[in-house]
Amino acid sequence: MVERFYIKGGTPLKGEVLIGGAKNSVLKLMAAAILAKGESKIYNVPDLTDVEIMLSVIAQLGAKTSYNKEEKSLTIDATDITSITASYELVSKMRASFIVLGALVSRCKEARVALPGGCAIGERRVDFHIRGLESLGAKIKIENGYVHAKTNKLVGADIYLDIPSVGATENIMLASVLAEGSTKIQNAAQEPEIVDLANFLNAMGADVNGAGTSEIIINGVKQADLHPIEYTTIPDRIEAGTFMTAIVATKGKGIIRNIYPAHLTFFTDKLLKMGANIKLIDPTSMEVSCKNRLNSINYVTQPYPGFPTDLQSMAMTLLTTANGVGIITESLYENRFMQVPDLNRMGADIHQDRNHAIIKGVKKLSGATLTASDLRAGASLVVAALMAEGNSVVEKLHHIDRGYENFENKIRLLGGKIERRVEESPTSLTEGIHNESYL
């Protein structure tokens, strides 16, 4: 059995959409929760497969976990950590679970975490994580596909990252919380999720300063100084950007609620330059609309506060039907144009040259059978199907379900014509695409 989206395009999205908690933040808060003995509770947690996997990782370590779907909260009781091993079976399903390495070394002075392996969008090295922990005094061996870190005592150090890696910054932060003395991370990642992690740790009793800048200082505290807390996750800026794109792409008008507009400044500026209309209606809500054909501009992905790589595929979808020619340069990952073949099958005119994509705007896209190759590429294909003429089918929804909660339900609330079906595979997709009454 397989799950597919059936989408009838051409309907402007209108109404309101409520953005959930940030996936890329909550996963790291879950790892941080094992630092303090006792029961912590995290609110605004989206119901996603990635969250389920992380809960399994933490439960494997001995913590007691539970998730309340109705109030979107999860509870982690880390009174007892009985295992230092995060298995390959779980870590291989989601790279972000590698973040437990720093927390385990910090609390237990030892960790055995599987190397996460490959990633659809390109290489994501962990050598920055390892060098950072070694600088703090951890002895590390890589054997049988696992990183085995052990130390008698972690001691603060000055650590410079060659690139502002989000994962490495987070792992070093977690490892430094209980280290002796001060740790300085230079060229640190500055993403809002880093700030959220620092705020969580400080509420727990840690001493983290400078998060959101290129230099973070962590003054080590004692285990007894840490205590369980209740905390609310920040909104998901990538989900917000996805729905902003969907509304603009379909020439609709909608309100995006439960957002931090400052986290979307660069993306908002780009949409305005293309011709979208965006206005702040209250501190956590924006109205987005578009009536006319957009104008092409160029995009270059950069670490925060630059243009986010996670919204690159959304930008490409908008450029497919914009006036003129736009160029997207992907500077962070070597294989993040996986949506290009499917967009071209819909009638787009995209030429890829290594890390550059040249998009010549066409008048319209046409419905097609599409395959989600990864989380963000998959979501961009859903947006493309919503703006296209005719019917589309999107397959491999498990990628999309990693990062979007109730994606199709939120789209339907905006008036989009989308349906999730569970079907036997293979099935006749051609019949579904050409049947105008299937939705």
Residue 421: which CATH number?
Answer: 3.65.10.10
Residue with tokens 């996936």: 23
Is there a domain that residue 439 lies in? no
Q: Taking residues 215-223, what's their average pLDDT?
A: 98
Per-residue confidence at 345, pLDDT binned at 50, 70, 90?
very high
The domain total for the chain is 2
Per-residue confidence at 121, pLDDT binned at 50, 70, 90?
very low
**pLDDT at residue 125 greater than cutoff 90:** no
Per-residue confidence at 432, pLDDT binned at 50, 70, 90?
low
Amino acid at 303: P
**pLDDT at residue 210 greater than cutoff 90:** yes
Domain boundary among 208, 229, 250: 229
Q: Are residues 352 and 291 in the same domain?
A: yes
Q: Are residues 66 and 196 in the same domain?
A: yes
Per-residue confidence at 126, pLDDT binned at 50, 70, 90?
confident
Is there a domain that residue 421 lies in? yes
- The number of residues in the chain equals 439
Q: Are residues 46 and 13 in the same domain?
A: no
Is there a domain that residue 256 lies in? yes
Which residues are tagged catalytic?
Answer: 119
319 DSSP β-pair partners: none
Q: Are residues 143 and 102 in the same domain?
A: yes
Nearest to 27 by CA among 223, 196, 169, 177: 196
**pLDDT at residue 161 greater than cutoff 50:** yes
Is there a domain that residue 204 lies in? yes
Domain boundary among 229, 252, 267: 229
Q: Are residues 170 and 296 in the same domain?
A: no
Q: Are residues 294 and 425 in the same domain?
A: yes
Distance CA 13, CA 1 (A): 30
Q: Are residues 299 and 222 in the same domain?
A: no
Distance CA 334, CA 142 (A): 25
Per-residue confidence at 336, pLDDT binned at 50, 70, 90?
confident
Q: What's the DSSP call for residue 83?
A: -
Q: Are residues 283 and 391 in the same domain?
A: yes
Q: What is the pLDDT of residue 427?
A: 55
- Percentage helix, strand, coil, to 5, in the chain? 35, 30, 35
The answer for residues whose C-beta is within 8 angstroms of residue 127's C-beta and 6 or more apart is none
Domain boundary among 229, 249, 270: 229
Is there a domain that residue 43 lies in? yes
| Terminal Cα-to-Cα distance of the chain (whole angstroms) | 20
Q: Are residues 27 and 14 in the same domain?
A: no
Is there a domain that residue 310 lies in? yes
Distance CA 108, CA 114 (A): 17
Domain span at residue 221 reads 23-229
State pTM to two decimals: 0.94
Q: Are residues 408 and 326 in the same domain?
A: yes
Q: What is the pLDDT of residue 116?
A: 82
Is there a domain that residue 186 lies in? yes
**pLDDT at residue 430 greater than cutoff 80:** no
Contact 34, 100 (CB under 8 A): yes
Q: What is the pLDDT of residue 424?
A: 84
Q: Are residues 414 and 277 in the same domain?
A: yes
Q: Which tokens hold the place of 92?
A: 């291989």
Q: What is the pLDDT of residue 434?
A: 53
Q: Taking residues 357-381, what's their average pLDDT?
A: 97
Half-sphere exposure of 353 (CA within 13 A, CB side): 5
Q: Are residues 305 and 340 in the same domain?
A: yes
Q: What is the pLDDT of residue 346?
A: 98
